[in-house]
Amino acid sequence: MNGQLKGVENLEGTHLFDLAASARALRLNRFLHGLTVPAKRDLFKQNPDAAFEQASLSAEERRMVRDLDWVALIRYGASFFLLEKLGRVKGVSNPEIIAAFRGETLDEFLKTRRVPGAR
Amino acid sequence: MARILGGIGTSHVPTIGVAYDKGKRSDPDWAPLFAGYEPVQAWLAKKQPDVLVFFYNDHATTFFFDHYPTFALGVSESFPIADEGMGPRAIPPLKGHPALARHLAESLINDEFDISVWQDLAVDHGVHSPLTMFWPPAPDWPGRIVPIEINVLQHPIPTPLRCFKLGLAVRRALLSYPEDLKIVVIGTGGLSHQLNGSRAGFNNEKWDKQFLDLIARNPKKLAAMRHADYIRLGGTEGAEEIMWLAMRGALSPRAKKIHQNYYLPMTTAMAVALFEEPVEKAVKAAKRPKMAKRARRSRAAA
């Protein structure tokens, strides 16, 4: 156990990205990282199944990406910062992803914010 | 010899860069953020630093988890703007300072900070999202940068104390650079925010204000804290604050915070703090003859 992190396990609703998560989701994260490369991004936009096939994603990995199941993706071990790139490609904003993590609609989430227009 | 004029701590949320690119200066939702950077921009315009040394983190953009460096130094002539999923921002590539960066690599490694080095790789919003707010790139960047990447994504990440010590080592390196360069040191990231789980959207204004006070007055107290403390107080991504600690370590204990702004509109607390080093005219004048005497003595010995 990393002594620097002792106590974090008691924080509710927190998924720390550590080496275990990184190893578990390496293939998925590598696919998401590919979205920074225009050719791979275009393939995903035009033919997601071909892009999934190229990245050898499992059936569940494909489902989570296809459905933009943010909660399942982050639990699985996707890095938020790679989900952010998926969001950009799919036209989903960070507040929408954060709202999904919280189990809220975007409007519900924005009501908890000081400046809902600042997005 | 190179001189450190001061330092800047700043958040690096991507929306800061987006607000700049979309020209939202007079949008009431964004005006308080722009206003908070104006004194920083004015200070830099007056001080005219040659180089900004950046402690920042990549966001699994340029570096991937097949090899994620703990500390990595950019040593090339130029750094492209990264594509983070929508194509790069329409700003010029950043100009590096290879001679200073090579000196930093040598000095850090001889000082037992075994940092990785990289060339030509792109930098993401961890550097340029806040940068455009205080160093406008029109027609081109006013100076050069040396980027130092810190892993704050994949635990284990370096401890707060280690980052403070990195700052101390960077200070030793910069002050031993023979050319007369004016340098400002920058740390980006934070303040409180969390971007995962049902705790996402967590903020803690009280802790943020305390952090802004301690980073100026008592950074050693911040350096002694554990990551678990930062995460409990400021959210999982609040851990980015260790890059402010590296910046603070590169400044003298007497550096003074002369400006700060805090704005929490949405998910991430956006802060900026400007530190200035005291001008050491008297000390310099006193040191010069001594150094000359030492030089004469060593010449005589030779």
Mean pLDDT over residues A103-117, rounded? 96
Looking at residue B76, its amino acid is S
How confident is the model at residue B302, as a pLDDT?
A: 47
How confident is the model at residue A1, as a pLDDT?
A: 83
CA distances from B187 to A53, B11, B112, B115, B287 (A): 40, 8, 22, 17, 31
Q: What is the CATH number of domain B3-301?
A: 3.40.830.10
Q: What's the pLDDT tens digit per position in B173-205?
A: 999 999 999 999 999 999 999 999 999 999 999
How confident is the model at residue B281, as a pLDDT?
A: 64
Clarify whether B193 is annotated catalytic.
yes
Spell out the residues 6+ positions from residue B116 whose beta carbon is closer than 8 angstroms to its own: B69, B70, B71, B72, B73
Mutate which: B152, B155, B262, vs A, most A CBs within 10 A: B155
Task: Write out residues in chain B with pLDDT < 70, as ranges.
Answer: 281-302
How confident is the model at residue B296, as a pLDDT?
A: 53
DSSP B156: S
Structure tokens at B211: 């952090």
Mutate which: B26, B266, B268, vs A, most A CBs within 10 A: B266
Question: CB B139: neighbour CB atoms within 10 A?
Answer: 6
* A20 at B interface, C-beta within 8 A: no
How confident is the model at residue A119, as a pLDDT?
A: 85
**Would you say residue A105 has pLDDT above 80?**
yes
**What sections of B218-280 are H helices per DSSP?**
219-223, 227-234, 242-249
Spell out the residues 6+ positions from residue B159 whose beta carbon is closer than 8 angstroms to its own: A4, B226, B227, B242
Of A7, A14, A95, the CB nearest to B266: A95
* B228 at A interface, C-beta within 8 A: yes
How confident is the model at residue B291, as a pLDDT?
A: 53
Sketch the domain layout of chain B as residue ranges: 3-301
Q: Share the mean pLDDT of chain A.
A: 97
Sketch the domain layout of chain A as residue ranges: 17-111
Q: What's the pLDDT tens digit per position in A69-91?
A: 999 999 999 999 999 999 999 99
Which CATH number is correct for A17-111, 3.30.70.20, 1.10.700.10, 3.90.25.10, 3.40.50.1000?
A: 1.10.700.10
How confident is the model at residue B279, as a pLDDT?
A: 85
* A91 at B interface, C-beta within 8 A: no
**Would you say residue A17 has pLDDT above 50?**
yes
Name the minimum distance, in Å, from the CA of A34 to any CA of chain B: 9
Q: Which residues of B touch A116 (CB under 8 A)?
A: 266
At residue B46's C-alpha, the angle toward residues B40 and B47, to 5°, is: 90
Name the minimum distance, in Å, from the CA of A64 to any CA of chain B: 16
- State the pTM of this model: 0.94
Q: Which residues of A touch B194 (CB under 8 A)?
A: 14
Of A11, A12, A33, the CB nearest to B231: A11
